[in-house]
Amino acid sequence: MRCTVIGLGEAGQIYARALQRSGQDVLGYDVAPTPTPGLPRASTMAEAVGTADAVLVMTTARASLPVARDAAPYLAPGTLYADFTSAAPSAKRALEQELPAGVQAADIAILGPVISLGESTPLMAAGPGAERIAELLRPIGAPVEVVHGANGDAMAHKLLRSIVMKGLAAVVCEAVEAGRRAGYEDWVRGQIAAELSGDGQATIDRFISGSVKHAARRADEMAAVADYCEALGAPSQMSAATRDSLLALAGSALKSA
């Protein structure tokens, strides 16, 4: 299969070379002069996608729609067009409108750090071309979960996951830094590790029910946390945001009482 990878940063090169190793005919395209030894490069978009069976777009989210518009005049019916960017679900749906009739679009969400996991990074695929991209990538060792929905549905799953993954990472960073400045970093790390182990579903239920029931009291506590972080000279954005969230939750509870 003739595969074109658009966007030859670290992730793009990882997938391009994995596809090469699996025996696919791979062509790369990037307007940046990134060195890609051993990977054939197209010099124009027309050359890049004009004869491709599958196009894998691994640019930044901001470039998702412009790349689709640039590629559209040269895409043949039946081409698989897989967008791996982190563009919003609405942008993934809009992208499909830019493509010619007969082109099979697929929305791909990357659910892990490609730089460390390589082609074995978990992926989620949605849209008309979801099954085809799964068939292409599974032989290279990529675990692809297919969501039977429209373009944008895979990215919607990822963004919901990111509320926890990115938010949790920010909270952990803030807590560990405050612990370091207070001289209690090891103890803080131990508390975090203990909380992240055990029955995950029970923890989720406890977080939800406890936050609703004790919102006002916990808001006062988080106000004290934010003040303490500031006194330590440590970041307090996440603590302050948690305080505000709990205050809003407490206010909603009063209105519904």
Using the predicted structure, report yes or no on whether residue 254 has a pLDDT greater than 70.
no
Q: Residue 187: what pLDDT?
A: 96
Pairing of strands 144-146, 80-83: unpaired
Q: Residue 217: what pLDDT?
A: 92
The pLDDT of 141-163, averaged and rounded, is: 93
Return all residues near 110 (Cβ < 8 A) that are at least 6 apart. 11, 84, 86, 121, 123, 158
Using the predicted structure, report yes or no on whether residue 157 has a pLDDT greater than 80.
yes
Nearest in space to 106 (alpha carbons), one of 86, 80, 85, 87: 80
Using the predicted structure, report yes or no on whether residue 257 has a pLDDT greater than 60.
no
pLDDT tens string 76-94: 999 999 999 999 999 999 9
Q: Tokens for 77?
A: 């019916």
Contact 27, 40 (CB under 8 A): yes
> How many whole angstroms separate alpha carbon 156 and alpha carbon 92?
10
Question: How many other CB atoms sit within 10 Å of the CB of residue 50?
Answer: 16
Query: Across the strands, what pairs with 25?
Result: 2
The pLDDT of 29-53, averaged and rounded, is: 93
Instruction: Name the CATH superfamily, with its identifier, for domain 2-149.
Output: NAD(P)-binding Rossmann-like Domain (3.40.50.720)
140 residue type, one letter = I
pLDDT, averaged across the chain: 93
pLDDT tens string 25-38: 999 999 988 889 99
The pLDDT of 104-127, averaged and rounded, is: 95
Using the predicted structure, report yes or no on whether residue 175 has a pLDDT greater than 60.
yes
Q: Tokens for 16?
A: 């391009």
Using the predicted structure, report yes or no on whether residue 200 has a pLDDT greater than 70.
yes
Using the predicted structure, report yes or no on whether residue 243 has a pLDDT greater than 80.
yes
Q: Residue 149: what pLDDT?
A: 86
Nearest in space to 84 (alpha carbons), one of 120, 124, 52: 124
pLDDT band (50, 70, 90) for residue 142 = very high
